[in-house]
Amino acid sequence: MTSSTHQERTATAQREADLHRVKLASIDQVNESVRVLRLQIPPAKDVKFLPGQWLDVHLPNVQQAGGFTITSTPKDAQHTADKPGYLELAIQKSPNNPPAAWLWKPEDEILGSDVQVRVGGNFIWPPPSLDPKEIETVAFIAGGVGINPEKLNRRISLLYGTRAPKSRNLSDILFLDRLGDQNHIGKDKDPLSVDLFLSQCSEEEKQEMGSQYKFHSTRAGRIDRNALLRALGPDFELQKTVVYICGPPQMTDEFEEVYLEQGLPKSIVLTEKWW
């Protein structure tokens, strides 16, 4: 059976009408399966988006558009005297996905290419149904690629589940360095608590890898029900809480159901599925 395309899966999602022409300015090889790309915005152009949105990416000689979450911040898209604005994307190696396959061509074949992008998506901060000033607890549940930390002045829990890197070097995990920079346990400003879950590794390997970063916890195995509930904190209030879940469809559905069973309304449990 042929899988659906990004445009088919997001046909009902909100998206801008305008296409923006940008230039593929740099490629950073994070590990053997993930690249981070920087798309430079022309000086006379302005691209605005909200955290959590994605891009329709139209590539030369590729019939279908790709869909990739923006992993830079809205501030990064603003031009300054020192540098032009840019958009950043994390692209997983996917030979059977034509847009991803094009973006995984040899660097000398695609660097400097012009591509066209359109902003879209409903999985956003702040959540459309809540007043951000009233939110005190935010739980982010992430599986795999597409994770993008945002600084928010409130209690934030992040559960990040991913495969242990073959190198057993945690710096090979996408954006873990950025999470380490923002991990301020016990401080009043930006109190981000990160729990890292590593699959496909032993307890002994986990203990060795856990010493590489000072997160709240580093655990062998997958995110479980108890961890999902702990992410809310002991005294959360429904009216002041929001949960974001992003990952493969089965994981996303299972985690959403855990929160709905606890009485959280669907309006505050936001989900984004990637294929």
The two tokens of residue 246 are 């992003």
| Position 203 pLDDT exceeds 50 | yes
Q: What is the pLDDT of residues 154-190, one digit of tens each?
A: 778 999 999 999 889 888 988 888 887 665 444 444 4
How much is the pLDDT for 184? Answer: 45
How much is the mean pLDDT over the chain? 88
Neighbouring CB atoms inside 10 A of 57's CB total 25
How much is the pLDDT for 274? Answer: 78
| Position 150 pLDDT exceeds 80 | no
Range with the poorest average pLDDT among 73-77, 96-100, 216-220, 258-262: 216-220
The maximal CA–CA distance of the chain, rounded, in angstroms, is 54
Q: Is 88 left (phi over 0), alpha (psi -120 to 50) or beta?
A: beta
| Position 20 pLDDT exceeds 90 | yes
CA distance 222 to 198: 7
Neighbouring CB atoms inside 10 A of 130's CB total 15
How much is the pLDDT for 74? Answer: 93
How much is the pLDDT for 188? Answer: 46
Instruction: For residues 87-103, give the mean pLDDT.
Output: 95
Q: What is the pLDDT of residues 22-78, one digit of tens each?
A: 999 999 999 899 999 999 999 989 999 999 999 999 999 999 999 999 999 999 999
- Report for 45-49, 167-171, 191-195, 236-240: range of highest mean pLDDT: 45-49
CA distance 194 to 173: 14
CA distance 158 to 6: 26
CA distance 146 to 148: 6
How much is the pLDDT for 2? Answer: 54
